[in-house]
Structure 1
Amino acid sequence: MSNLKLIIKREFIARVRNKTFVVMTFLSPLIFVGMIGLITWLTTLNKDEIREIAIVDETGSFEPYFKSSKGISYIDYTNLPLNDAKDSVVIKDLYGLLYIPGNTSNKELEKSIQFYADEAPNIDILQQIEKIISEELTHQNFKKKGVDIAVIESSKAKVDIQIENFLGEKTSKISSYVKMFFGGLAGYLLLMFVVIYGNMVMRSVIEEKTSRIIEVIISSVKPVQLMIGKILGTTLAGVLQFFIWVIIGGVLLFIASFYLGIDVQPTTPGQIPQDELMEQSQLILQDVLNLPLISLVVLFLVYFIGGYFLYSSIYAAIGAAVDSETDSQQFMLPIIVPLMLAFYVGVFAVIENPHGTISTVFSMIPLTSPIVMLMRVPFGVDWWQILISIVILIASIWFMVMFAAKIYRIGILMYGKKPSYKEIFKWLKY
């Protein structure tokens, strides 16, 4: 046990004293917040841009309904011939030209309207134009058939379904996405932690193996202790780095938001009424408060530690089996595929049916359960499913550590030869 503590301490100090580790610890939050600020600034530039659209309405019926709004300005070119209007749009570098031909029936007009532009127009703008013309054509058709439009308008109904559970608590319509956000965030953090710090464990093993330091170390320490010590030491260094990222990133986001005038929050479309927006915000906040936050935090730690140990042992075994990072690429498939599969199953299957067969099965498989189960937890999972998943994960960690330790024990002393899968399986028999 004393040897294990020394290894953990040595690995932790070696990680935190590394120049790259120190630089990235303080530089990464700056880069992250800088990217958010840049994206926000670029988005603001796009919103401030005014798209000028010329209109040639030969019918004289539609142009009055095109009202300029934020980001779009409509200019009446109806008095100009079509070709002259095109030339003017090109010379003035306008966004586009909307041409509505005359002397056609409403049925023919539906398929004969043209939009001229150098580039394909924004789909939202195109849909807005289509909606305005469609509504006016519909009204004209009603008038021709003697239908009272006022009666129709007054008869229209807008259904707004209210959602609440059987305890009488209201929820928002995007409740599933709120739950998916928290579950997806937890799963994504685990995925990134495994990839970043698992690779760090592998590189540490390769460095010591190629420098022959490992031969001295294993003369007084068991290979299993050395492997576990490396995993734990790197984990502690990673947790420290992650904690520093959260603090620095939070402070920088606060400064960017309140002192530099950068809005890091997503903007809300202006067409939503203020009272409706407030009601939605309250419902979303209620959804967040109704989440099993304590269970999510506890299970995040359990699956975070369990998933990291499971994959780090594989990374350590790969590092022991090869002589360079280049040689390790052929063995990365068994690590990357389950991680990516788990994340995509969580994104596409869990939000669709969190209690379905696919979501349930993948939340039990140890290589995918840390991510998939974390994504399922916000939707409410039976305790016995969580218990079974954790038991399987713990058993798999023990099996994988023993499995990796055998490879580690032989691999750290093997030099100058690129091992194959067949040869690695032979090492398990030694």
Structure 2
Amino acid sequence: MDKLWLIIKREYINKVRNRTFVIMTFVSPLIFIGVILLIGWLTSVNNSDVKRVTILDDTTQGYDLLFEETDDYQYNKLENVTLDNALAMSGKNDDYGLVHITQNEDGQVQVMMYSDDSPSLSYITSIEERISKKATEDNLIEQGVDLNTLESSRVDTTVALQTYSGVVNSKASSWVKIALGGASGYLLMMFIIIYGNMVMRSVIEEKTNRIIEIIVSSVKPIYLMLGKITGTSLAGITQFAIWVILGFVLIVAGSAIFGVEAFQNPANQDMVAQAQNTDEMQLILNDIMQLPLATMISCFFIYFIGGYFLYAAIYTAIGAAVDSETDTQQFMLPVILPLILSIYVGFFSVIDNPNGTIAVIFSYIPLTSPIVMLMRIPFGEVTWWQLGLSILILYCSIILVAYLAAKIYRIGILMYGKKTNWKDLYKWLKY
């Protein structure tokens, strides 16, 4: 057991002292925050461009009056001009587009927009809504309907959300849960892949340098494998903790220097302003506070450790079975596939029905439970016995997978010059 701790200490120190590890630990948060600032700046620059649109209204209903200039759009309204001439003028002026409004024989309004660019869906929708509203009002007037009476009779209904215990929720509560659950699951998947590959490369490097032959002569392969996995996991947790601290400091500092707007997407500012005006932001904050945050945080670390150890054992066995990183490609699909499947199940099943059969089953399967269960927890519909059973199955599976991986590891770590295949792995498991 003393040798195991020595191996863990050696692996941990070697990882945290590695130049690449140190650089990525402290540079990655800077890159991440820099990308956020760059995206915000590029979006603001993109939205600052004023688009000029030509309007040709061939009807007598005055639809061109619906288009008023804004900070983003300027309009050039043409009269008594043919469509061909309007297209020529619009193209010559390098306009964003030309909107042509006509009426067919049945009196139906038809709108065609000419543009070499791809107009945004929101802009097209706004045109459709404006013209549809006016055309509807014109039809009602022709039928003798008083629009003032109709408008005064309109009743707007707002659905308020509240739990049986009396807690008021916002309309965006589901999106908050989806965002937090999806972020947790995706983050865990990325950590498993990154640190699992780190363990695998470490095993391949020591095997290639023949250092492993010296180490194995004094340490049992099972201790060496567990030491590598544990040491790398501790280095990963250290790196993650530094990222969280640095990320928080950089966001606070960036908000103070550049302003909070630098971290916001300008496309969402209208939505944020509307939410603030209607106290929706306060309800969203209440939704976040009502989430099982303590359970989410504790389960993230429990499933991070469990999921990492499970997959790291598989990565270690693969690293021991091959002589180079190129040879690992034939074994990687069965490892990556459950992780990808977990994400798809999470977004297409858990979000729609957290207690559905598919969501529940995949939250028990060890290879998928770390991600799927983390995506179920924010919805607050996971009972304590489901959580306990999922964790128990996961950690029992770690013992089984580690035992099988150790059988491959103790043989493959000393094998050189032969390309390993699935048949060889099956033989090694029987030794």
TM-score by length of 2: 0.95
Aligned residue pairs: how many?
427
Q: Deviations over 1:302-336 (max 9, x none)?
A: 11111110000000010111111000111111210
Give the secondary-structure state (helix, strand or coil) at the position aligned to 1:133: helix
1:208 to 190, 194, 206: 206
Q: Deviations over 1:77-132 (max 9, x none)?
A: 22544333222211221111112236x55x44434x32222233222111111111
Q: Deviations over 1:28-50 (max 9, x none)?
A: 12221121111111110122111
Letter in 2 for 1:174: A
Change (3 A) 1:271 1:167: closer
Counterpart Cα distance in 2 of 1:54 and 1:429? 76
8 Å Cα contact 1:317-1:404 kept in structure 2? yes
The answer on 1:145 being equivalent to 2:160 is no
Counterpart Cα distance in 2 of 1:193 and 1:138? 55
Counterpart Cα distance in 2 of 1:303 and 1:271? 35
Shift of 1:298: 1.4
Counterpart Cα distance in 2 of 1:289 and 1:242? 24
Q: How does 1:182-331 map to 2 (within 5 A)?
A: 182-261=180-259, 263-267=262-266, 268-270=268-270, 274=274, 277-331=277-331
Counterpart Cα distance in 2 of 1:83 and 1:419? 70
Question: 319-328 or 241-250: which moved more?
Answer: 241-250
Give the secondary-structure state (helix, strand or coil) at the position aligned to 2:308: helix
Q: Deviations over 1:363-406 (max 9, x none)?
A: 00000001100111111201111111111111101100101011
Unaligned runs of 5+ in 1: none
Counterpart Cα distance in 2 of 1:13 and 1:315? 21
Change (3 A) 1:413 1:233: same
Shift of 1:235: 1.0
Q: How does 1:118-129 map to 2 (within 5 A)?
A: 118-129=116-127
Shift of 1:174: 1.7
8 Å Cα contact 1:48-1:71 kept in structure 2? yes
Letter in 1 for 2:400: F
Give the secondary-structure state (helix, strand or coil) at the position aligned to 1:115: strand
Shift of 1:263: 1.6
8 Å Cα contact 1:313-1:400 kept in structure 2? yes
The answer on 1:12 being equivalent to 2:12 is yes
Change (3 A) 1:273 1:214: closer
Counterpart Cα distance in 1 of 2:283 and 2:33? 29
Shift of 1:21: 1.3
Counterpart Cα distance in 2 of 1:270 and 1:9? 53
8 Å Cα contact 2:101-2:109 kept in structure 1? no
Counterpart Cα distance in 2 of 1:292 and 1:385? 15
Counterpart Cα distance in 1 of 2:329 and 2:273? 54
Change (3 A) 1:163 1:369: same
Letter in 2 for 1:198: G
Counterpart Cα distance in 1 of 2:334 and 2:48? 48
Counterpart Cα distance in 1 of 2:424 and 2:107? 74
Match of 1:69 in 2: 70
Give the secondary-structure state (helix, strand or coil) at the position aligned to 1:56: strand
Q: How does 1:158-173 map to 2 (within 5 A)?
A: 158-173=156-171
Shift of 1:276: 5.9
Question: 82-91 or 144-153: which moved more?
Answer: 82-91
Shift of 1:148: 1.4
The answer on 1:415 being equivalent to 2:416 is yes
Counterpart Cα distance in 1 of 2:16 and 2:118? 52
Letter in 1 for 2:153: S
The answer on 1:87 being equivalent to 2:85 is no
Stretches of 4+ aligned residues off by more than 4 angstroms:
271-276
Letter in 2 for 1:19: R
8 Å Cα contact 2:200-2:319 kept in structure 1? yes
8 Å Cα contact 1:364-1:392 kept in structure 2? yes
Counterpart Cα distance in 2 of 1:409 and 1:301? 30
Question: 290-299 or 199-208: which moved more?
Answer: 290-299
Change (3 A) 1:276 1:297: closer
Change (3 A) 1:360 1:277: farther
Letter in 1 for 2:164: F
TM-score by length of 1: 0.95
Shift of 1:58: 2.6
Shift of 1:274: 4.8
Match of 1:38 in 2: 38
Q: Deviations over 1:135-180 (max 9, x none)?
A: 1111111111111121222222222100100011110112112112
Give the secondary-structure state (helix, strand or coil) at the position aligned to 1:259: helix
Counterpart Cα distance in 2 of 1:163 and 1:298? 28
Q: Deviations over 1:259-279 (max 9, x none)?
A: 134521344443777576451
8 Å Cα contact 2:102-2:109 kept in structure 1? no
Counterpart Cα distance in 2 of 1:8 and 1:400? 20
Question: 54-63 or 393-402: which moved more?
Answer: 54-63
Letter in 2 for 1:377: I
Counterpart Cα distance in 2 of 1:278 and 1:161? 14
8 Å Cα contact 1:231-1:309 kept in structure 2? yes
Shift of 1:429: 1.6
Question: 128-137 or 73-82: which moved more?
Answer: 73-82
- Superposed CA RMSD in Å reads 1.7
Counterpart Cα distance in 2 of 1:274 and 1:131? 20
Unaligned runs of 5+ in 2: none
8 Å Cα contact 1:98-1:114 kept in structure 2? yes
8 Å Cα contact 1:177-1:351 kept in structure 2? no
Counterpart Cα distance in 2 of 1:121 and 1:180? 29
Give the secondary-structure state (helix, strand or coil) at the position aligned to 1:251: helix
Shift of 1:133: 1.1
Shift of 1:257: 2.6
8 Å Cα contact 2:275-2:281 kept in structure 1? no
Match of 2:25 in 1: 25
Give the secondary-structure state (helix, strand or coil) at the position aligned to 1:299: helix
